[in-house]
Structure 1
């Protein structure tokens, strides 16, 4: 068997596999999907402290009541479109969307990005990751 000949006929598959590996092992601190950067709690703290980032908690009221990030604004993801006009004044600022685990916040951040927000982020791991990092929660 000629391995060189085998590799030369399967190079598109090898290239595709290499591409998947690059995507899987891309940077652990942040990930950018559809114009939205997914950030760690540590990076969120930096944006809050250095740039006075707006934090939007997109969870439901019962989740919000059990604890939320300090100074967060509560807008459930299902109601976000109704508040876009009110949020326009923050369009040039850093905005961090946060939920329980990061799924709804990614959707909310995508909505804001499509509405023209350029510095919008999703908190990776949500409030669970925030609490795991030992960061404060308000009630």
Structure 2
């Protein structure tokens, strides 16, 4: 994979413990129910994020999206939250999905938006358990 955007579970845990990073859980709500949540992680489903930012979803993503199109207030709230964590509190953002596959494009999306200290958790949620 791409070591420049991936981070190991042990490194991620240490950064969170030191209050230098926060976890962004990009899994869908049904995945959180099935697999479990991560303490203190911010839940932000990837497909909702993509749709909020005006990115097209493929057919499978659209099918998995079990929420309505976010309204402008949701988008503004999300950007305020992420900007507050990333810039004001100077936190590293670490994207987490189940296996580490969806968090890679999520990390790329954040980086395209100008958030350079964003990483994908190698192995995803399963690497944490």
Fold shared, TM-score > 0.5 on shorter chain:
yes
TM-score by length of structure 1 reads 0.64
User: Could you give the per-residue CA deviations for residues 77-105 of structure 1, whole angstroms, max 9, x where no partner exists?
Assistant: 11124245232222332001000101111
Once residues 55 and 122 of structure 1 are traced to their aligned partners in structure 2, the CA distance between those partners, rounded to angstroms, is 10
1:88 aligns with 2:60: no
Match of 1:7 in 2: none
Partner of 1:59: 27
Q: Output one character per residue of 1:45-74: Cα deviation in whole Å (capped at 9) or x when no partner.
A: 111011341211111111112312211111
Corresponding position: 1:107 with 2:126 = no
Q: Where do 4+ consecutive residues of structure 1 move more than 3 Å? A: none
SS where residue 70 of structure 1 aligns? coil
CA RMSD in angstroms comes to: 1.9
- 2:116 alignment partner, one of 115, 118, 135: 118
**SS of residue matched to 1:116:** coil
Highest Rg: 1 or 2?
1
Figure out how many residues of one structure are paired with residues of the other and give that number: 99
Gaps of 5+ in 1: 1-23, 25-29, 132-139
Name structure 2 gaps, 5 residues minimum.
53-74
TM-score using structure 2 length: 0.69
Q: Check the 8 A contact 1:64/1:74 in 2, yes or no.
A: no
